[in-house]
A and B are shown apart, each in its own frame.
Chain A
Amino acid sequence: MWKYLLEKEFKQFFRDPGLPRMALAFPVLMMLVFPFAVSMDIRNINLAVVDNCMSRESSLLVDKCISSGYFRLVSHGYSAEDAMRLMDDNKVDAIITIMPDFDRQTALGRGLPVGIKVNTVNGTKGSLGSQYILQCVRMYFSDRNSSAGMASAQSADISEKYYFNPGMDYKLFMIPALIVIAITMVTAFLPALNIVSEKEAGTIEQINVTPVSKTAFIVCKMIPYWAIAFFILTACLIIAWAVFGYVCRGNVLWLYLFTVLDILVMAGLGLLISNYSSNAQQAMFVIWFFAVIFMLMSGIFTPIASMPDWARFITYFNPMRYFADAMRAVFLKGSTPADVWYDVAGLGVLGTVMVTAAILSYRKSE
């Protein structure tokens, strides 16, 4: 019986006008577009300098900031009011104020009269901006204190990389997370629509009137999504290697293992929702609701450790939390399932619950 049901599911998948193309386009889009788009590496921070000193020293400090590549000098003048007005107009993200006796004080090695104002309407840009300015100032001083010459210029370049955590690392950090999102989206949405579409077409009634076993029916619906997810995972890994030059530090097999576990949860959830929905719109909306929560509370974009206690508690029910953590650990650190056993356990428990619920809630009679 299983063989025939599986055959049916695969044939239907490949004959669908949109699904195979979607499964193909999704990983490509995810891997080629989003690593650039989701980068938290902020550039082009608009900077105004209020230079009350106008000395060689102060212009060296300004040069230091500009040469870091993170800032764009919008105005360089005396007037603090002008600079503030620029910030009010949202033309400037950060203001550096240099006091009149900057050169003298620094020459004497005393305290540092430099003011930094940051526009935090965009919080991320603001906090990173102030960090960058601080780094620049610190670097300016370390340069200044070391002896002049080629050797110190060299070392300044090296320390810059160290300080700024260049964008490349951020992409590397996001790639396993993007794989997680691609797999989760495809394997949650498609099963959610699957049973509903059979309900809409009326074909499920013909199935329900046969002695088909519920388990066989549900599991056979799930298996194609494993195949699709493996395909997506493989495609993503190839793109990560070919385009960005990133390879998985750990054993790739573990990535596949975690994908199997994740689909248990997501496809189970999708089918469960499908069982309770009477049309595609309903199913779509409910799965969208879950997908957004899963994503925002997964630790992919914001660290779970910095969430309040109650939010952190909710993340324990979020399969994406475990999946993303495991994929990052394997990809970036080379971890094994033994190292992240809690992720294995989390996905395993949630998966068992979901699949069981999907099978039980599928009713062949009303």
Chain B
Amino acid sequence: MNTGYAIHIRNLVKKFGDFTAVDNISFDVRKGEIFGFLGANGAGKTTAMRILCGLSRPTSGSGTVAGFDIRKEQEKIKRHIGYMSQKFSLYPDLTVRENIRLFGGIYGLKDREIHEKTEAMLDMLEIRDAGNRFAAELPLGWKQRLSFSIALIHSPQIVFLDEPTGGVDPETRRRFWELIYDTAEHGTTIFVTTHYMDEAEYCDRVSIMVDGRIAAMDSPAGLKESLAARDMDEVFRIVAGRAVREE
């Protein structure tokens, strides 16, 4: 166990047949950090993230997430992390309250705790009136905030967000990031992938994946300085421009 690190990864490889999706990556994420995991489509971000969440087994390499081995203790990892997938994956035919109740129950919360959490969540998300609406009917921005809150229902140490703000307007995205900041302030580690470079600026540190490898990793300011770039957009174009792999 590596205290001090929320995520500790060494020489991680994931192959699908001949194709090496994740090619020998190593990195650490400190507790309480907002870590941006960037990369072009097909660079291997989602694959790497799925391994960290215990949804996929690495071909080789080692590491720990929340102090548990990514090869042997996947189910223990799942107790201590939250995950919000790119695609809305709450039950569309359950209401907002029922979704909260289901996932609260799965994480072993008691009825009373679930009730309290539900009320607090509806207030915080300012969707009190929508509590009894089906999840499918919510606007995309609300769905994303709800997914995020449900990923946090069991107060996990780390929360993984896979392109959490895809397809919504800048204002909705800004409000989502306010939620992320609030969460990070309470000590939760945030591991987030994104395509929006303005969001990358909000991170404490970012890594940029190119062709399955980590091509750059530093704070946004550090990256801009070392590459003499004006903003993260330019940083991304310089680093990701070295890709040889087709999407």
Contact = CB atoms under 8 A, between A and B. Distances in A.
Contacts of A1: 105-106, 108
Interface in A1-33: 1, 3-5, 7-8, 11-12, 15-16
A303 interface: no
Given A11-B94, A12-B91, A365-B74, A209 B54 contact: yes
A4 B87 contact: no
B87 to A, nearest CB: 5
Contact of A206 (B89, B93, B101, B104): B89
A88 B69 CA distance: 79
Given A7-B102, A11-B93, 16 more contacts: A8-B91, A8-B98, A12-B91, A203-B90, A203-B91, A205-B55, A205-B85, A205-B87, A206-B89, A206-B103, A209-B54, A209-B78, A210-B107, A211-B76, A211-B79, A211-B106
A4 B75 contact: no
A206 B85 contact: yes
A113 to B, nearest CB: 75
B106 A212 contact: yes
B37 interface: no
A205 B162 CA distance: 12
A202 B108 contact: no
Contacts of A107: none
B55 A364 contact: yes
Q: Which of B53, B74, B79, B105 has the largest count of A CB atoms less than 10 A from its CB?
A: B105
A201 interface: yes
Contacts of A202: 85, 87-89
Given A205-B55, A211-B78, A366-B56, A16 B93 contact: yes
Given A5-B105, A15-B93, A365-B74, A209 B53 contact: yes
A94 B88 CA distance: 68
A208 interface: yes
Contact of A3 (B54, B87, B103, B105): B105
A203 B103 contact: no
21 contacts: A1-B106, A1-B108, A4-B101, A4-B104, A7-B98, A8-B91, A11-B98, A12-B91, A16-B93, A203-B89, A205-B55, A205-B87, A206-B89, A206-B103, A208-B55, A209-B53, A210-B103, A210-B106, A365-B54, A365-B56, A366-B57
Interface in B42-74: 50, 53-57, 74
Given A209-B83, A211-B79, A365 B55 contact: yes
B102 A4 contact: yes
Contacts, number: 79
Contacts of A203: 89-92
A99 to B, nearest CB: 76
Contacts of B83: 206, 209
Interface size class of B (residues with CB under 8 A): 20 to 34
Contacts of A7: 98, 101-102
A4 B91 contact: no
A257 B85 CA distance: 43
A183 to B, nearest CB: 25
B106 A5 contact: yes
A223 B57 CA distance: 31
Contacts of B107: 210-211
A364 B81 CA distance: 15
A201 B53 CA distance: 20
Contacts of A211: 75-76, 78-79, 106-107
A281 to B, nearest CB: 20
B105 A205 contact: no
A199 B78 CA distance: 19
Contacts of B98: 7-8, 11
Nearest to A4: B105
A206 B150 CA distance: 10
B93 A12 contact: yes
A332 B55 CA distance: 52
A11 B83 CA distance: 24
Nearest to B80: A211
Contacts of A366: 50, 55-57
Interface string B84-122: 010111111110001001111111100000000000000
Contact of B102 (A8, A15, A201, A205): A8
A310 B72 CA distance: 46
B106 A4 contact: yes
Nearest to B74: A365
Contacts of B108: 1
Contacts of A209: 53-55, 78, 81, 83, 85
Nearest to A212: B106
A79 B109 CA distance: 89
A3 B87 CA distance: 27
Interface in A135-156: none
Interface string B118-153: 000000000000000000000000000000000000
Q: Which 7 A-B pairs rank lowest in CB-CB distance, beginning with the nearest?
A: A4-B105, A209-B83, A206-B89, A202-B89, A211-B78, A202-B87, A211-B79
A365 B76 CA distance: 13
Contacts of B92: 201, 203
Contacts of B54: 209, 364-365
A358 to B, nearest CB: 19
Contacts of B81: 209
A19 to B, nearest CB: 11
Interface string A191-217: 000000000011101111111100000
